[in-house]
Amino acid sequence: MKVPTEYNHPTRRAPHPPSSPVSYDCPRYRKSSVYTNSTLARGGAMQHATRFQMTRRKLLRRAAALATFGPLFKATERVANAQTKSINPYSAPSKLRITDVRACRIASNYDYPIIKIYTNQDVYGLGEVRDAGVEGLALVLKPHIVGQDPLRIEPLLDRIRKFANHRRTGGGYSAIDIALHDIAGKVYGVPVWRLIGSKYRDRIRIYCDTTESKDPKVYAERMKKRKEMGFTFFKMDLGTQLVSHIPGAVDYRGVATEKGLKLLCEFIQAVRDAIGWDMPLAADHFGPLELNDAIRYARAFEPYQLAWAEDMIQVGHLGQGGDAPLNWRAYKD
C-alpha cells in the first residue's frame, strides 16, 4: 500500500513525484498521525515556495523598482535634514521663560516702536506697536509676562487683555501678541502664518497709500507715480485738513460742510483721472464722525466707486444705526 505522499495527496501535490514509492512496512516510517501531519505540512511549505518562486522576469522588475525609489528616499532624507537643521537640539521648550522686554524706535513717516521679548534660551521675539504708538503701552505689561512661558500664548494674552483697547491704545497688547507668535514660530521651526491658520493662496494683493497734498493736481501726480511703480490698488487720505484752510469748508466740529465735501470730491476726481476707473481706490483719515455725517460723506463719494471708506465712525457709535442695543464692550472683553 502506498503512503499518501504530497505527490498523490488530493489537495497538496509536490512539484516532482518521489523517486520510489514508500510503504508502511518501511522502518523509517510508521502509520501514525505524526507521520501524516508532518508530511502534509512539508507538502504545504513546498507548495508555498513554488507559488512565490522568483523568476528572472520578477527579479528584473523588482530591481527596476528599487532603482526608481532609491533617489526618492535620498531626496526625502535631504528634506528631513534641511528641516531639522534649524532645530536647536539643546533647547528645552518646556523650560522656556520670558526674562525681559525692551523697546526701540525706527524712524520713518511715523516713529515705529518695536519691542523685543527676551527668553532664557537665546530665542527672542519682535513685535510692533502700531504707527505713532507709544512703546510704554507695551513696556507697562512687562511685569505681567516676565517669568512666564512664552509658548502659552492664549493664557498670556488673556492675562493682559484687560489693559488693551481699540485704536492706538491697544498697540502695546498688539506688540506683545506679535512677539509671542514670533518666539513660537522660531521654537517650532514654522512661519507665524502657519501657527495662525491654513494657507489659501501663494500671493496677496496689496494696496499702496500715498502722501497727501492740499493741491489736487499734486496729489494726482503722486498717485500716478505709484501706478507707474506697478501697484494696482490705491488708497488716499481725505481728511478735512486738505480743505480746512478754505473758508466755509469745515464747520465748528471739524466736519466737512457741503462745500467741503465738494472740494474733497475734486481730489477724488483728480486721482481717478490719473489712475483710471479700473483700479480699486479706497479712502481714509476722515476722523471720528457721527453716523449721519458718515452717511453724508459716503453719499457724496458714491459716484467715484470707492473700494471702502475706512474708520469713518468711532467704535462706540456703531449702535447708532439701529434700534437694537449693541454692547461693543462685551465683545471686546
CATH number for the domain harbouring residue 124: 3.30.390.10
> How many angstroms separate the CA atoms of 223 and 277, rounded?
13
- Domain assignment present for residue 32? The answer is no
> Do both 178 and 289 map to the same domain?
no
User: What type of residue is 32?
Assistant: S
- What is the pLDDT averaged over residues 117-139? 85
The predicted-structure confidence for 255-290, as pLDDT tens digits, reads as follows 999 999 999 999 999 999 999 999 999 999 887 788
Neighbours of 55 (CB within 10 A): 8
Task: Write the pLDDT tens digit of every residue in 179-196.
Answer: 999 999 999 999 998 988
Tell me whether residue 110 is in a domain: yes
Please check whether residue 314 lies inside any domain of the structure. Answer: yes
Residue 33 included in any domain: no
Q: Do 214 and 177 share a domain, yes or no? A: no
Where are the extended beta strands (E) located within the chain? 98-107, 111-119, 125-128, 208-209, 234-237, 281-284
Estimate the crossing angle of helix 171-188 against helix 153-160, to 10 degrees: 170
| Among 196, 218, 253, residue at a domain's last position | 196
* 149, part of any domain: yes
Q: Provide the CB-side half-sphere exposure for 103 (13 A, CA).
A: 21
Domain identity same for 157 and 214 = no
Q: Is the pLDDT of residue 199 over 90?
A: no
Question: How many domains does the chain divide into?
Answer: 2
Domain region containing 269: 208-332
Examine residue 181 and state whether it is found in any structural domain, yes or no: yes
Does the pTM exceed 0.85?
A: no
